[in-house]
């Protein structure tokens, strides 16, 4: 019997796989409207680029502390206090190569084989793969389109077992766009409070991209009693259109953050020193681009929803934040629909199965409104013909 050559700990990102298919289709000479990618179509603010140029001129780009340069940790603490109402000490901040790495580090630092992680579906495609890579088990719990894809406290209570280690709350959600009110979070906290082993991952990375004026409710701020069991995640990727710069962070209890930093020290050491300087500029500089961009996303959302609403084959909830639509397609599987759609119309979308919603598609509206509306129009026409 031959031994397997690799331990397949992760399946690889299905979102990137679909984006690659779209690129191949384009390389073969076809016109493509790409609605797959989860990255803003804006540039980082000018003062961020200026700070990076200035930093390069010093020619000093050595290793930094594992948890980032002190001005970055100071800027992150200030940002948490200003934007989320959360106070952290310096040793309660972890920094990594994107929020993705910090989340992965947190799971690696805390999960034992067989532990369970509760993931409300639809979920960001990376969570289950990360959990499995740590030898733990994703426990997927459903939410409903009709109730805005928010996790119901009774559903959460039924999913908890003695092995539950984490509950993941991602708001605004990717791909759902769901946002929780303070009272929604308090109701979930009531369930979690009775289970002292459970940690809460509050992934707030899309918080600045919201479409109502209601102040953002972050789990640890709403439920200070559980702050010592909550890891709050954020980063520059979505808010400041700095995806490739790879700076993300977490604020949480010191013992957990120390364990995360230990993992970080043995995989990437730190995130890029140049990117750290740019992130300081993003967090401490003018913030006026954020509401302007959120308003642009809102307009695009509304334009896309208006087209999709014409189709009797689609049900689409209006997302409260982030830049995705997650329509349900009546009587069809998302995988075959996404492939047929690309072939027939040149519109690339991600099948909902990547996020735990087989009969859905994910459409990103991080692209210009004209292309977005044209893409949605082609989807509607395609479903009418198919």
Nearer to ligand PLP, 106 or 383 (CB): 106
Minimum CB distance to ligand PLP, residue 88 (Å): 18
Minimum CB distance to ligand PLP smaller for 174 or for 232: 174
Instruction: Name the minimum Å distance from CB 366 to ligand PLP.
Output: 11
Residue 19 or 304: the one with the smaller Cβ distance to ligand PLP is 19
Smallest distance, Å, CB 380 to ligand PLP? 26
To ligand PLP, the closest distance from the beta carbon of 104 in angstroms equals: 9
Q: Considering beta carbons, is residue 184 or 307 the nearer one to ligand PLP?
A: 184
Instruction: Report the residue number whose CB is nearest to ligand PLP.
Output: 98
The CA distance from 51 to 307, in Å, is 41
The secondary structure of the chain, three-state, reads: CCCCCCCCCCCCCHHHHHHHHHHHHHHCCCCCEECCCCCCCCCCCHHHHHHHHHHHHCCCCCCCCCCCCHHHHHHHHHHHHHHHCCCCCHHHEEEECHHHHHHHHHHHHHCCCCCEEEEEECCCCHHHHHHHHCCCEEEEEECCHHHCCCCCHHHHHHHCCCCEEEEEEECCCCCCCCCCCHHHHHHHHHHHHCCCCCEEEEECCCCCCECCCCCCCCHHHHCHHHHHHEEEEEECCCCCCCHHHCCEEEECCHHHHHHHHHHHHHHCCCCCHHHHHHHHHHHHCCCCHHHHHHHHHHHHHHHHHHHHCCCCCEECCCCCECCEECCEECCCCHHHHHHHHHHHHCEECEEHHHHCCCCEEEEECCCCHHHHHHHHHHHHHHHHHC
Which CB, 307 or 325, lies closer to ligand PLP?
Answer: 325
Indicate the residue among 268 and 380 with the shorter CB distance to ligand PLP: 268
CA–CA dist 292, 286 (Å, integer): 12
Residue 294: CB minimum distance to ligand PLP, A:
16
Cα-atom radius of gyration of the chain, to the nearest Å? 21
By CB under 6 A, name the binding residues for ligand PLP.
38, 98-100, 124, 170, 174, 203, 205, 235, 237, 243, 248
Question: What does the alpha-carbon distance between residue 295 and residue 210 come to, in Å, rounded to a whole number?
Answer: 9
**Between 102 and 341, CB nearer to ligand PLP:** 102
Closest approach of ligand PLP to the CB of residue 99, in Å: 3
Please say which residue, 64 or 174, places its beta carbon nearer to ligand PLP.
174
**Nearest distance, CB of residue 284 and ligand PLP, angstroms:** 19
Measured from the CB atom, the residue of 300 and 377 that comes closer to ligand PLP is 300
Least Å from the CB of residue 175 to ligand PLP:
8
CB of 106 to ligand PLP, least distance (A): 12
């Amino acid at each position: 019997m031959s031994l397997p050559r690799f331990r397949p700990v992760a399946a690889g990102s299905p979102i990137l796989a679909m984006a690659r298919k779209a690129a191949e289709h384009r390389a073969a000479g076809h016109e493509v409207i790409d609605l797959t990618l989860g990255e803003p179509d804006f540039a980082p603010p000018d003062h961020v680029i200026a700070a990076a140029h200035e930093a390069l001129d010093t020619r000093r780009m050595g290793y930094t502390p594992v948890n980032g340069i002190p001005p970055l940790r100071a800027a992150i603490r200030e940002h948490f206090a200003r934007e989320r109402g959360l106070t952290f000490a310096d040793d309660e901040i972890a920094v990594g190569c994107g929020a993705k790495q910090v989340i992965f580090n947190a799971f690696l630092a805390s999960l034992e084989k067989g532990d369970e992680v509760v993931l409300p579906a639809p979920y960001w495609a990376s969570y289950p793969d990360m959990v499995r890579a740590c030898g733990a088990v994703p426990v997927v719990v459903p939410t409903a389109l009709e109730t805005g894809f928010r996790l119901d406290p009774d559903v959460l209570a039924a999913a908890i077992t003695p092995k539950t280690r984490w509950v993941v709350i991602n708001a605004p959600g990717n791909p759902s766009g769901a946002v929780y009110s303070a009272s929604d979070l308090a109701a979930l906290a009531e369930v979690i409070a009775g289970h002292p082993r459970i940690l809460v991952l509050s992934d707030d990375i899309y918080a600045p991209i919201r479409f109502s004026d209601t102040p953002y409710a972050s789990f640890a701020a709403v439920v200070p009693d559980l702050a010592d069991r909550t890891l709050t995640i954020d980063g520059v990727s979505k808010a400041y259109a700095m995806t490739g710069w790879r700076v993300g962070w977490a604020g949480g209890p010191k013992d957990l953050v120390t364990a995360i930093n230990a993992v970080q020290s043995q995989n990437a050491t730190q995130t890029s020193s140049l990117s750290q300087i740019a992130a300081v500029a993003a967090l401490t500089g003018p913030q006026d681009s954020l509401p302007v961009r959120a308003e642009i996303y809102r307009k695009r959302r509304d334009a896309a929803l208006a087209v999709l609403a014409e189709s009797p084959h689609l049900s689409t909830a209006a997302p409260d934040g982030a830049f995705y639509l997650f329509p349900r397609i009546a009587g069809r599987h998302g995988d075959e629909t996404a492939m047929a759609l690309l072939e027939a119309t040149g519109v690339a979308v991600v099948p909902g199965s990547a996020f735990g919603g087989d009969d859905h598609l994910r459409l990103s509206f991080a692209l210009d409104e004209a292309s977005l509306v044209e893409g949605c129009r082609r989807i509607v026409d395609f479903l009418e013909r198919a």
